[in-house]
Amino acid sequence: MTALGRPRSLQGRLLALVLAAVVLIWLVTALVTWLDVRHEIDELLDDHLAQAAALLVVQQAQDTEESETHNYIDVPMLHGHKSRVAFQVFHKNRLEMHSADAPEQPMHEAGKSFRAGFYTVNMDGINWRVFSAYGAEQDVQVYVGELIESRSEIVWAVLRNMIWPMALALPLLALALWWAVSRGLVPLRRLGDVLTERPANVMEPLVLDGAPAEIAPIVQALNSLLARIGGLMETERRFTADAAHELRTPIAAIRAQAQVAMSEADPALRRHALQGTLEGCDRATRLVAQLLTLSRLEIASATVMAAVDLRALAQQAVGDVAPKAIAKNQHIEFDATEPCSIPGNETLLAVLVRNLVDNAVRYSPPGARVTVAVQQQGGQVTLTVEDSGPGLAEADRQRLGERFFRVPGSAESGSGLGWSIVQRIAAVHGLVVQVAPSATLGGLAVRVQAPAPANFVTC
């Protein structure tokens, strides 16, 4: 975001970065070209100086007459750099021949003796590139010099011919880059338009025809997000509908019992009505707890797993329902000799075990027998809950897990959500739940198995 709170343009950033890279590369190329051209021109002109010196040596050797006065040669106007090249021929330290624009003193470093080869000297504030050589005899020295300034002008003239076309092409290149970047971002803008125009309640997957490979992961991620949001919204709608549907009954019952208690003069009847009110409150509390548990299970994306002792959970569940079983004159047994650990979430597994044991006690008649066992068989841990109650018909067993399904004719209160919670917890943990008639007690037998291979399984 900018300082004014407006989002920065991706197109502008891409264009600025590409143009900056192009200009930088262009400048580096110009610098490298300048250095290379300077080197090549120096070598070429140095060769010309050496050739000119060689011609002067030959000419001086052929000149058999010695003159008492110095001569100079006016080089014809053959090119634009005539006045920037000079030569000198000294014989016995006397200037015998020179060009019209050559200085009088020898063109070598001041205070130093003559040496053959290339060097740069400054004479009267002017820099010269000089090549010196001996003549046919050692008492003859030949100097050929060229202004350094002329070489720089040649280099800049070459560079100007190269740089101006490139500089003029930069605006056209910027326009081409703007068009290319703008065209490349069309799918992204189209995706933004599709999302802007889409209604808030539509969770269907996005379809973007012709999307490039770089946009496809974004579309896939958005579709995955829409699917999760849709699932959460559906869960919320279902929870709201379930709560509204199921809470109506206990609330109506509580209201009816409260009205009876208010209008009843007989203390015994009033107490009975108040007791019914409390039971209705307990039923509503259980229902809300079951609904919240089921809702949390449906919206949970991940469950933290750890080693959980299934025997300890079953023992705790038996202890919790024992008072209810004793009140119904039921006989409840617990069979587990050693700790048996499986991977899972302790809170959720405790809810699963408590629901199964509570159902066996709740829906079994007075005097019934209930057994709870935890054991290891073939590398698997199995929780078994059996009762001697009336059992369930095959059709009713097939419907177990449906929300709010209750066996017709049951006198016990319930919400019909217990089995939905059991199956959802089992699915989260990868457990296998089997329901069948009990071969030993004649009622219902429920087996929960941790499937092989079961990591963490220890008994």
- Domain annotation covers residue 70: yes
pLDDT-derived band at 245 (thresholds 50, 70, 90) equals: low
| Ordered alpha helix ranges (H), 185-215 | 186-197
Range with lowest mean pLDDT among 16-25, 207-216, 351-360: 207-216
Can you say whether residue 3 is alpha, beta or left, with left for phi > 0 and alpha for psi between -120 and 50 degrees?
alpha
pLDDT-derived band at 408 (thresholds 50, 70, 90) equals: very low
Name which residue leads in pLDDT, 10 or 304: 10
Reference 403, options 317, 295, 303; nearest CA is: 295
Q: According to the model, what pLDDT value does residue 276 have?
A: 76
Which residue type is seen at 225?
L
- Domain annotation covers residue 206: no
Task: Record the tokens describing residue 445, joined without a space.
Answer: 């037998």
Please give the average per-residue pLDDT across 3-20, as a whole number: 72
Residues 310 and 284 in one domain: no
- Domain annotation covers residue 313: yes
Residues 29 and 130 in one domain: yes
Q: According to the model, what pLDDT value does residue 372 have?
A: 92
Q: What is the pLDDT of residues 265-306, one digit of tens each?
A: 788 877 887 887 887 787 677 667 766 766 666 555 555 678
- Domain annotation covers residue 277: yes
Q: What is the pLDDT of residues 366-400, one digit of tens each?
A: 888 999 999 887 778 889 999 888 777 666 666 56
Which residue type is seen at 210?
G
Residues 422 and 285 in one domain: no
- pTM (2 d.p.): 0.44
Domain boundary among 273, 295, 317: 295
Residue 341 to residue 325: CA distance in whole angstroms: 27
**Is there a contact between 84 and 149 (Cβ–Cβ < 8 Å)?**
yes
Residue 426 to residue 407: CA distance in whole angstroms: 22
E-strand ranges in 329-379 read 331-335, 341-344, 369-377
Residues 332 and 426 in one domain: yes
Please give the average per-residue pLDDT across 35-62, as a whole number: 76
- Percent of the chain surpassing pLDDT 70: 76
Q: Is the peptide bond before 453 cis (omega within 30 degrees of 0)?
A: yes
**Is there a contact between 219 and 211 (Cβ–Cβ < 8 Å)?**
yes
DSSP-derived secondary structure letter, 68: S
DSSP-derived secondary structure letter, 452: S
State yes or no: pLDDT of 418 exceeds 80.
Answer: no
Residues 34 and 151 in one domain: yes
Residue 37 to residue 312: CA distance in whole angstroms: 88
Q: What is the pLDDT of residues 131-170, one digit of tens each?
A: 888 877 777 888 888 888 887 888 888 777 777 787 788 7
CATH code, domain with 345: 3.30.565.10
Query: What is the span of the domain harbouring residue 361?
Result: 303-449
Please give the average per-residue pLDDT across 30-56, as a whole number: 79
**Is there a contact between 160 and 47 (Cβ–Cβ < 8 Å)?**
no
- Domain annotation covers residue 96: yes
Using only the alpha carbons of the chain, give its radius of gyration: 51
Residues 225 and 94 in one domain: no
State yes or no: pLDDT of 214 exceeds 50.
Answer: yes
